[in-house]
Chains A and B, each alone.
Chain A
Amino acid sequence: MPNKEAIFNYIGIVLQYSLLGLIYYFLSKVIKIIYTDLDRSGQKKISIGNEGNQSNFRKRANLLVVDSGHIQLSQNSFFLDDITYLGRNEQNEIIIDDSFVSHEHASINKGQQGYLLTDLNSTNKTYLNGQPIVEATLLKNGDLIKIGAVTFSFKG
């Protein structure tokens, strides 16, 4: 009988260590999955960026609605002309019917280097990537423009 107990003890000790070892094996597997996942999403982002740069001059620039708040917009994306006005008035190209948006809130016009975003002295300001803009700013692909509750993403 003592012999059996000794074997039990021996196996028990091995199991104590293998338990911790296995937990870390599990963790390493999980982290590996997360790592490849992060890698993949990173690559995707880079490839989208490159695509955008290459087609810069071929495709028309447009504004994509990222978050419309609770406001009904006529479309999910808007193509940009030489000059595009945004605001609450009917005369604007992009009409945002929201009490936080001024009648003529902002404009985007095509310059030599690209598209320029200008705030038209609005009450609640125009935000570019979280910062209120003070003067005409050149837009880059993927920039987030926030007017009232609506957020657009600039694709150009």
Chain B
Amino acid sequence: MINRRQLERNLLMVAGIIMLNGILAVNLAHGVLNYQTLGAVTFIFAGFMAANIVLCKVGHTGDPLFLPLASLLVGIGLIIILRLKPELFMLQVMWVGVGLVAFLISAILAKRLEQIAYFKYICGFIGVGLLLSAILFGVDIGGNKNWIIMGPVRFQPSEFAKIFIVLFLAAYLSERRELLTLATKHYGPFVLPHPRFIAPLIAVWSLGMLMFVLQRDMGAALLYFGLAIIMTYMVSGRSSYVIIGMIAFLVGSVICYHLYSHIQLRVDIWLNPWSDPSGGAYQIVQSLFALGSGGIMGSGLTYGFPTMIPEVHTDFIFAAIGEEMGLIGAGAVILLYILMIYRAFRTSLLSLMPFSMMVAAGLAVSMALQTFLIIAGVIKFFPLTGITLPFISYGGSSIVSNFILLGMLFSISEVRGYDAK
């Protein structure tokens, strides 16, 4: 068997060549060779290689596919951002650099993940605090009221809160898994768990609803709610949790739909965007045009018109990929996510400790849900939600938090013997 890190290095090389190829293609289409962008890409490539060498030196035996998959997604993101918003390209390069450092720190620190389980309530409070801070002090930037400004630092707390919420839920649920599975009360045909043990679920549900109503942030609400339900299901193996959760969410959604006009507007746009194509539904209609005109082969980088879509570099970056790289490119991106999420679930199944098993599964679910929700929103499969596409969308908070998440998964995937128990 080839060494894991060697395997990783080979794949990183290919990803680096792809990145360079794409940047060159964009440059040439503009007719000028911008050496600054080429230098920046070389810097990112060197960064990934350096990360590989550091992991080699530390003797990390994590899954060799996580880092190359992330590097290719980041590479595709950089290519598209250079094409869409060249002025943001250098910033994104910087964020990827910061993200790589965060990845290494979290990959090495998360070796002692089990100790975090002792601080589960602190994690829970930090997570809820971050979400509440966005609700209370959130500032509206680019249509989403989920930014926090602290002096020179601006960030989106909901991106980081998901890591803390996963840690809390994993610790809480893995500690109480026998109670959740066995302690039941019978209400007619339904076998429900004891109300005491689903309290955190209800708390996350109401938090999600609060975000839904106050922040108009349906994406985050769905993400956190889905996360809580799926993690409870994974820990207990009882489908009654999923059914109860879905009923609760549907009831809440219907009530919100009738009470709040902005939610009605969102749903109406989703059901029939063509009633108001140049007003409220402008974004989604332009996104559909972009995907449609891309066809199977795509228009080619810089030969399409994805800049017609507002917010194309963050939430709608998938539509730009669909237009300029076609079904082939967009399909490849979805495949990359599928492979990454598959590896994350595999990590969870191979892990020996219940807590790290739940953390890996929770992180996998959060990544899968986020990718699904935003891609489904862009292609009008689902009402639109304002969340980022992991690793591809422009944005410091998104990139750094996803690299931290990846570092934790990477660390859990390390083959550990029973002695680590």
Binding site for B on A (CB under 8 A): 5, 8-9, 11-13, 15-16, 18-20, 22-27, 29-31, 33-34, 67, 69-70, 98, 100, 124, 130, 148-149
* Residues in B neighbouring A23, C-beta threshold 8 A: 18, 72, 76, 329, 332
Tell yes or no: B354 within 8 A of A by CB.
yes
Which of B11, B25, B72 is A15 in contact with, Cβ under 8 Å?
B25
6 interchain residue pairs of minimum CB distance: A149-B178, A12-B28, A15-B25, A22-B18, A16-B300, A23-B332
Query: A69 to B18, Cβ gap below 8 A?
Result: no
- Contacting residues of chain B (100-137) with chain A, CB-CB under 8 angstroms: none
**Assembly CA distance A31 to B28 (angstroms):** 32
Contacts A8-B31, A25-B14, A34-B339 hold; do A19 and B178 have CB atoms under 8 A apart?
A: no
Residues in B with CB closer than 8 Å to A148 are 178, 182
Shortest distance between the CB of A7 and any CB in chain B (Å): 9
Docked-complex contact A19 and B65, CB < 8 angstroms? no
Assess whether A20 is in contact with B332, with CB atoms less than 8 Å apart: yes
Q: Are A19 and B14 in contact (CB under 8 A)?
A: no
**B339 A30 Cβ-Cβ under 8 A:** yes
Closest beta carbon of chain B to A42's beta carbon, Å: 13
> Which B residues are closer than 8 A to A by beta carbons?
7, 10-11, 14-15, 17-18, 21-22, 24-25, 28-29, 31, 64-65, 68-69, 72, 76, 79, 175, 177-178, 181-182, 237, 300-301, 325, 328-329, 332, 335-336, 339, 342-343, 354
Residue among A8, A18, A29, A100 making CB contact with B11, cutoff 8 Å: A29
Contact A26 to B11, CB < 8 A, known contacts A12-B28, A19-B25, A70-B178: yes
Using A20-B328, A33-B7 as known contacts, list a sample of 4 further A-B pairs with CB atoms less than 8 Å apart, ordered by residue number in A. Answer: A26-B11, A26-B68, A31-B339, A34-B342
Secondary structure type dominating chain A contacts: helix
Residue in chain B with minimal CB distance to A146: B181
On whether the beta carbons of A16 and B354 are closer than 8 Å, the reply is no
Kindly state the separation between the CA atoms of A20 and B68 in the bound complex, as whole angstroms. 17
> Are A12 and B29 in contact, CB atoms less than 8 angstroms apart?
yes
Q: Which of A16, A26, A31 is close to B72, meaning CB atoms less than 8 Å apart?
A: A26
Nearest chain A residue, comparing its CB with the CB of B340: A30
